[in-house]
Structure 1
Amino acid sequence: MITLWHNPRCSKSRAALALLEGRGADVTVRRYLEDAPSEAELRAAHALLGGPVIAMMRTGEAAFGEMGLRKDDSDDALFAAMAAQPKLIERPLALTATRAVLGRPPEAVLALLDI
């Protein structure tokens, strides 16, 4: 099963969902703006993603600057910011029990079907 942290207003997120559903994937949609992930869930997602924490953030969002965030802030500060303002989470984020990918480009989510 794949869980997709989804924002239906985002074209990339809609495209990723369509790709997964078009391949017959078992997808659970989580509208993360309405059902915000906890800091623990964000940390677990990052552990599956790998890479720097900042890579899973939308640094161009107004909230990033309004919160006084910088790209070189500590991981703890970045996780706390995403938990407080889920619109800072890059989308779409697709997860299984053992892997996660950001759908940038949307076709990246198809890698989860090769498990």
Structure 2
Amino acid sequence: MSETLRVYHNARCSKSRATCALLEERGFALEVVEYLKTPPSRAELAGLLRKLDVPAASIVRKGEDIYKAEYQGRELNEEQWLDALAAHPILIERPIVVRGERAVVARPPEKALALLD
């Protein structure tokens, strides 16, 4: 297969590593974006959310210290969540796999297979 999938990846995350391995086993080339080293812009995040077809709040990692310190218990609108995710990329759930105009949060890793249809 020659198609390349983009994976927003955290190398320290076992689910993210497993997702990359699963896709590579199926013959896909991967464009790996280590989003903690090269965070997506606010505009890129908005585009990802359109492809995921979910609101920003649904990809927020609520177990992170920054979430607990700054956002827990607060009601934020879509724009405020986009600002928070852009300012604190550690809050972005991972891995996110993108194929064309579709994307999924691959938790568990097998959810990435939905993009292969």
Deviating 4+ runs (over 3 angstroms): 68-72
Alignment of 1:68-107 (within 5 A): 68-70=71-73, 72-107=75-110
Pair 1:62-2:69 in alignment: no
Q: TM-score, normalized by length of structure 2?
A: 0.91
Residue of structure 2 equivalent to 1:18: 21
- Between Structure 1 and Structure 2, how many residues are aligned? 114
**What is the one-letter code of the residue matched to 1:87?**
I
Pair 1:31-2:34 in alignment: yes
Pair 1:53-2:35 in alignment: no
Q: TM-score, normalized by length of structure 1?
A: 0.93
Post-superposition shift, 1:113? 1.6
**Which secondary structure does the structure 1 equivalent of 2:10 belong to?**
coil
Work out the CA distance in 1 between the residues paired with 2:42 and 2:73: 19
Pair 1:43-2:46 in alignment: yes
Work out the CA distance in 1 between the residues paired with 2:74 and 2:48: 19
Work out the CA distance in 2 between the residues paired with 1:104 and 1:19: 12
State the Cα RMSD in Å: 1.3
**What is the one-letter code of the residue matched to 2:79?**
D
Gaps of 5+ in 1: none
Work out the CA distance in 1 between the residues paired with 2:80 and 2:73: 10
Gaps of 5+ in 2: none
Work out the CA distance in 2 between the residues paired with 1:93 and 1:68: 22
Work out the CA distance in 2 between the residues paired with 1:18 and 1:95: 15
> Per residue, is there more strand in 1 or in 2?
2
Q: 1:113 to 1:71 in 2, by over 3 A?
A: farther
